[in-house]
């Protein structure tokens, strides 16, 4: 059995996928299997993968079903106890797997281990400031009650495969922030580890990424926030998680669709509002969402004006 199974979902990344795969093949740790799940690509992505000769690479071809579907297929096919995720247009530092194996050895009670990542935009590389303290390395205590950014992304984590039996697969209904949904389910059930060292690189200018994000985000029913009702039993047990996730959902619908969307959007946001835990979040949301819309909009405008003046 290999140390780690690397799973790459692939959809129309003809220009980027070779570099992504090469970043895996260049790892200082060479004991891995690499599973590429071609999710119905219509360009030359499949041919690029097939042109790379390495016995550790397995290519699985399937009909297009979205990134969550592709990850689920790859995870199911993986033979290792540990799954490393990498998107088809991102890449790793050569020591990524080596450092992850050290984290697994040093913090064996965790279910997910993540490192910091940087955004690549043309020639610009911007490390993500996670707010955990420079060089932090260890278990993340009280994830929900600590001030930080979302620590993990879909190209920076290794997950114990058995975890998916407990928390389930990636939710294939969600097309936007589907990775956050998975991280949150894991964090609510298991200890997790974070290392504030940039070893992963998220390519913001990748093929079809921008168009995909815009199209997915335009349908609120494909957003992570639309499904926060699935967390209700966790909210009963953890007020910090309730505040964290409900606040995120409330801010999202205010920013996107609650007042300015069409009738479809408004009905969708009303369903999200029903799942918000108002006792756990800022009181302003009660005045905005629990009154008639025109009154809530007036209060919302006052809140926005106050922020500008401060």
* Structural domain ending residue among the three candidates 175, 192, 212: 212
> Are residues 8 and 107 located together in one domain of the fold?
yes
Inter-residue contact 194 to 132 (CB < 8 Å): yes
> Are residues 182 and 253 located together in one domain of the fold?
no
Structure tokens given for 42: 């219509």
Q: Does the pLDDT at position 297 exceed 70?
A: yes
CA distance 37 to 9: 5
The per-residue pLDDT of the chain, averaged, comes to: 91
Averaged pLDDT for residues 305-309: 69
> Are residues 26 and 149 located together in one domain of the fold?
yes
* Structural domain ending residue among the three candidates 212, 240, 269: 212
Structure tokens given for 154: 């879909």
What is the per-residue DSSP string for 76-91?
HH--SSEEEE--TT-E
DSSP state of 226: G
| Counted domains in the chain | 2
> Are residues 146 and 176 located together in one domain of the fold?
yes
CA distance 257 to 251: 10
Which residues, other chains included, contact 256 with Cβ-Cβ below 8 Å and sequence gap of 6+?
A: 217, 220, 265
Q: Does the pLDDT at position 255 exceed 80?
A: no
- pLDDT of 216 reads 47
> Are residues 149 and 62 located together in one domain of the fold?
yes
Inter-residue contact 289 to 296 (CB < 8 Å): yes
> 40-58: per-residue pLDDT in tens?
999 999 999 999 999 999 9
> Are residues 102 and 154 located together in one domain of the fold?
yes
> Are residues 228 and 253 located together in one domain of the fold?
yes
CATH code of residue 25:
3.90.550.10
> Are residues 17 and 114 located together in one domain of the fold?
yes
Structure tokens given for 180: 């956050």
* Structural domain ending residue among the three candidates 188, 212, 236: 212
Whole-model pTM?
A: 0.91
Identify the domain containing residue 49 by its residue range: 4-212
> Are residues 32 and 163 located together in one domain of the fold?
yes
Averaged pLDDT for residues 6-21: 97
> 181-216: per-residue pLDDT in tens?
999 999 999 999 999 999 999 998 766 654 444 444
CA distance 109 to 136: 18
> 141-171: per-residue pLDDT in tens?
989 988 777 899 999 999 999 999 999 999 9
> Are residues 96 and 228 located together in one domain of the fold?
no
Place of tokens 């399937």: 62
> 270-282: per-residue pLDDT in tens?
999 999 999 999 9
């Amino acid at each position: 059995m290999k140390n780690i199974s690397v799973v790459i979902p692939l959809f129309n990344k003809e220009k980027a996928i070779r570099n992504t795969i090469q970043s895996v093949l260049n790892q200082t740790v060479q004991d891995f299997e690499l599973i590429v799940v071609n999710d119905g690509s219509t360009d030359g992505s499949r041919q690029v993968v097939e042109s790379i000769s390495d016995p550790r690479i397995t290519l699985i071809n399937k009909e297009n079903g979205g990134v969550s579907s592709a990850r689920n297929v790859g995870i199911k096919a993986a033979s290792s106890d540990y799954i490393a995720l990498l998107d088809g247009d991102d890449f790793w530092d050569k020591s990524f797997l080596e450092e992850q194996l050290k984290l697994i050895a040093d913090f064996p009670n965790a279910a997910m281990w993540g490192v910091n990542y940087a955004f690549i935009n043309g020639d610009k590389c911007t490390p993500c400031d996670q707010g955990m303290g420079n060089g932090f390395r260890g278990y993340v205590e009280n994830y929900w009650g600590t001030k930080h950014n979302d620590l993990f992304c879909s190209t920076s984590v290794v997950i114990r495969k058995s975890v998916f039996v407990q928390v389930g697969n990636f939710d294939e209904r969600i097309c936007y922030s589907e990775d956050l949904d998975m991280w949150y389910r894991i964090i609510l059930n298991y200890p997790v580890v974070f290392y504030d060292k940039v070893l992963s690189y998220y390519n913001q200018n990748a093929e079809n990424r921008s168009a995909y994000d815009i199209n997915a985000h335009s349908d609120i029913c494909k957003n992570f926030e639309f499904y926060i009702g699935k967390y209700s039993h966790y909210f009963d047990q953890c007020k910090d998680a309730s505040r964290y996730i409900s606040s995120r959902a409330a801010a999202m619908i205010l920013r996107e669709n609650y007042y300015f969307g069409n009738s479809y959007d408004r009905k969708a946001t009303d369903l999200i509002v029903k799942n918000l835990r108002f006792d756990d979040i800022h009181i302003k949301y009660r005045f905005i969402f629990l009154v008639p819309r025109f009154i809530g909009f007036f209060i919302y405008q006052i809140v926005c004006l106050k922020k500008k003046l401060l």
